[in-house]
Amino acid sequence: MVSHRDRRGKRRGPGKRRVRGGAAYGLRRRAGGRLHRAGPWRIVAADAEATMAALDPSTLHKTPLYDAHVAAGGKIVDFGGFAMPVQYGDGILAEHRAVRTDVGIFDVSHMGEADFHGPTAFETVQGLITNDAGRLDDGRALYTVVCNAEGGIVDDCIVYRFAPDHYRIVVNAANIDKDLAFFRRHLSQGTKLVDRSAETALVAVQGPRAVALVSELAREDLSAVPSFGFSRTTVAGRPVVAARTGYTGEDGFELFVEADDARAVWDALVEAGAKPCGLGARDTLRLEARLCLYGNDIDETTTPYEAGLGWTVKLDKPGGFVGRKALARQKAEGVTRKLVGFRLEGRGIVRAGAEVLGDGQTPVGKVTSGGVAPTVGGSIGLAYVPKALAAPDTRLRIAQRGRTFDARVVKGPFYRRPAEASR
């Protein structure tokens, strides 16, 4: 049997080992048309006994909700060293539709939480991020990127202000160790950095009915919490921080909860009607909403201006930030490539790594994400292309495994929820 480890790989006994990470994945079709996940993971098992027999005890770790996933029939995969559900019995498409039409629930406890405390916490955070933390009041959050000195994206994050001397940055699972090391190198004197990843679980409740469901279990109306706002409340009698954020293109909350309370909160939400959803639906949902996936669409070789995230860069904010000089120079000179959304014309699916062709069949760009779009139909994706090919409605030719596909550049998200689409 595998010894129990907490969500960050710490043994409950002598000695520790921390394994982080995650990577991108895509949808492929089996014979018969069923969708399954393909990527840098392996499917382990859908039942606890078989899973335990298959896991590598030296590398695979569990979130506080692992047992809940197994009990619900989740198909467990090795995702960057974590045992995570890629889907449940009804499949990815059913989970995707539940989030678009009702309410779904995701375990995202493998994400990392870094808390900054002290009289210079604001100064530290402001110098780390490209966006302006000075815009934040208590109980508000913002999306941002963190860049290196060359302007490459170290990570994309959400920053939360709890108090003038307390900020939290939530980082991607694959980047926790890297980000913490980067943060420590840039701490202002008087700031204390606390890694809260191990003791904090994160549960995302997403969909048109998400706010009403969380409000019901909190026994208070949370509909007044603004987008990118957060509030302390209780769910199933357990204290949570309910943040109106997400990664699906739908309304909802991400609930920060102590690891020991996570199962009670999860069970209460599922019992009240939230449909458990895995990594597969999370990916199709975020791609329709055209949200970047770190490690695929953005990384340290890409800049926010190239990735369409220039709106997060506040060059004139007081105090500056890491990478400011490089980004100011790129903004002045202009970018040579851009991340664009595209839709295939006709049948087929293209995956990350497929090549965008220029004249004479010469590769000029690369697909970073691709897959089916269950809500809007067809096949969609993201790709870096030369600036000359980035205008909306530009025709692209994409090569993959000896085949060539026609596509067109699409402006903005592929999907907007009805409230946004009417604006």
**E strand map for 172-328:** 192-195, 200-206, 230-235, 238-243, 252-258, 275-277
Same domain, 118 and 102: no
Same domain, 99 and 241: yes
Same domain, 230 and 377: no
Same domain, 121 and 95: no
**Is residue 152, in this structure, part of any structural domain at all?**
yes
Question: Residue 60 is inside which H or E element, if any?
Answer: none
Average pLDDT over residues 161-175: 96
Contact of 380 with 328, CB cutoff 8 Å: no
For 79, list phi and psi in degrees, rounded to 5: -115, 95
Residues in the chain: 423
Same domain, 187 and 257: no
For residue 330, is pLDDT > 80?
A: yes
pLDDT band at residue 80, thresholds of 50, 70 and 90?
low
Average pLDDT over residues 278-298: 97
Final residue before a domain boundary, out of 223, 252, 287: 287
**Is residue 156, in this structure, part of any structural domain at all?**
yes
Helices (H), 262-316: 262-271, 279-288
- Measured CA to CA in angstroms, residue 392 lies from 296, 341, 388, 418 at distances of 22, 9, 11, 22
Per-residue confidence (pLDDT) for residue 230, from 0 to 100: 98
Same domain, 92 and 104: yes
Final residue before a domain boundary, out of 256, 271, 287: 287
Same domain, 130 and 277: no
Contact of 397 with 386, CB cutoff 8 Å: no
**Is residue 327, in this structure, part of any structural domain at all?**
no
> What's the whole-number average pLDDT of the chain?
88
Show the domain range for 139: 112-195
CATH number of residue 141's parent domain: 3.30.70.1400
Average pLDDT over residues 275-290: 97
**Is residue 144, in this structure, part of any structural domain at all?**
yes
Per-residue confidence (pLDDT) for residue 202, from 0 to 100: 98
**Is residue 293, in this structure, part of any structural domain at all?**
no
Average pLDDT over residues 38-59: 43
**Is residue 235, in this structure, part of any structural domain at all?**
yes
- Give the residue with greater pLDDT, 327 vs 418: 327
Same domain, 342 and 422: yes
Same domain, 233 and 268: yes
- Give the residue with greater pLDDT, 145 vs 418: 145
For residue 13, is pLDDT > 50?
A: no
Contact of 61 with 82, CB cutoff 8 Å: yes
Domains in the chain: how many in total?
A: 3
Same domain, 150 and 211: no
CATH number of residue 353's parent domain: 2.40.30.110
Q: How far apart are CA 328 and CA 310, in angstroms?
A: 11
Same domain, 232 and 189: no
pLDDT tens, residue by residue, 84-112 = 999 999 999 999 999 999 999 999 999 99
pLDDT band at residue 59, thresholds of 50, 70 and 90?
low
**Is residue 321, in this structure, part of any structural domain at all?**
no
Q: Which amino acid is at 130?
A: T
Query: Which one-letter DSSP state was computed for residue 360?
Result: G
Final residue before a domain boundary, out of 155, 178, 195: 195
**Is residue 315, in this structure, part of any structural domain at all?**
no
Residue carrying the six token digits 């808390």? 115
CATH number of residue 264's parent domain: 3.30.1360.120
Same domain, 205 and 283: yes
Average pLDDT over residues 170-184: 95
